[in-house]
Amino acid sequence: MGTLFVSGLSHREAPVAVREQLALEADKLREVLGHVMATGALAEVMILSTCNRVEVYGVAGAPAAARALTFRQLGAQRGMALDGLEPMLYTKTETDAVHHAFRVAASLDSMIVGEPQILGQVKEAVAVAQDCQTLGPTLHRLWMKAFAVAKRVRTETDVARHAVSVSFAAVELAKKIFAGLDGRTVLLVGAGEMGELAARHLVEQGAFPIYVANRTWARAQELARALAGTAVPFADLEATMAIVDIVVTSTGASEPIITREAVQRALHLRRSRPLFFVDIAVPRDVEPTVNELANVFCYDIDDLKQVVDANLREREREAQRAEAIVKHEVERFVTRRRDQEVVPTIVSLRTRLEAIRQAELEKALAKLPDASAETRQTLEALSTAIVNKILHVPITKLRESSRAGQGGSWTAFVHELFGLRRDPP
């Protein structure tokens, strides 16, 4: 059995310029997988390539050589020499590799702990390796278990349930204020990226319809189409505020574009219905005194940042619980893997002794031609019991040594002691 390993670089070791350059699309990954498998240096291999990490998971007799081979091939796709990548690469083997894979799948090794994208990216990488027939039994078991661990982490902890982006923090606050967003109307003022992202999150949570206002009418129409919303003239801001529930502002204006007086006039038409402002702009788009008005809730970028910081701290606390789950599952997986390491030897040993038992039993029965069926059954049971008692100690010792990480030396000893045939690696 080869050594399970992972080698790679991530956001912790490599700058974004390197990660971007080394990240490969699926067809290029297939090409690399086919090449490295054809060399015979790896028994199994899978490559995880995202904007934040490029990792090679494999099973090989010589992990260091396999790592060099694979990253040389990966670098060649982008004109990057292995010597330039080596200082940024890490390698983990066996238990450490299992631990790393489980943490990656559970989003505990991500730039933002708990982000959901990585699990889908891992599943895509597994699918590519399966399609290329480079995912053998060891990596298959590893990732099926990793997916189960990730599901357990998300089910049993809140590591992914706290908003850690400004745009999603805004959505979280809006949900609390309105006790749900189904049917809540939104006005997006400006076409900034963060404002657009917040609007998309609101729509995903059930907010509808959405109105878009921008000083550039063409841009307002373009963004409204992208959000399945309606463009409104910038001059109609006040009238639109009177009919919506949530206003997201993200313009590049140098001074507030939404004044206290304008909001007061809109409130008069709203008949005391609450109005929620999310001001993501810097400088602010909404006058600070707007927040003093009754039934108005106004959050600026600093308010949202406080929510994000608090949620990050909460995620870190939940991550500690998740790490305990991962540690427990790693121990279980490694124990089973080590048990499997000695299974072929146990099977060979049992087969060897069973052949001896059968041969000797046949000799004994040949000398007892008149033996009754009862006598034959007694001899069968007796010889089987003797073999089982002989097997008990070596099988127990093999399993114990394997779990202690010493299975290789004991399997070699048992093979030598009992004259067992060694299958080619």
H or E segment and range at residue 9: strand 3-10
Q: Which residues are tagged catalytic?
A: 51
H or E segment and range at residue 56: strand 53-60
Q: How far apart are CA 342 and CA 363, in angstroms?
A: 32
Helix axes 301-366, 94-105, angle to 10 degrees: 130
Residue 204, number of CB atoms within 10 A of its CB: 11
The region that residue 38 occupies, defined by phi over 0 for left and psi between -120 and 50 for alpha, beta otherwise, is alpha
The dihedral of CA 118, 122, 125, 131: what is its sign?
negative
Q: How far apart are CA 107 and CA 337, in angstroms?
A: 24
| Torsion (CA) 154, 155, 157, 160 in degrees, nearest 10 | 30
> Which amino acid would we find at residue 134?
T
Residues whose CB falls within 8 Å of the CB of residue 173, separated by 6 or more in sequence, listed in order: 276, 278, 297, 299, 304, 307
Query: Is the distance from CB of 107 to CB of 151 less than 8 angstroms?
Result: no
The dihedral of CA 364, 365, 370, 374: what is its sign?
positive
DSSP 422: P
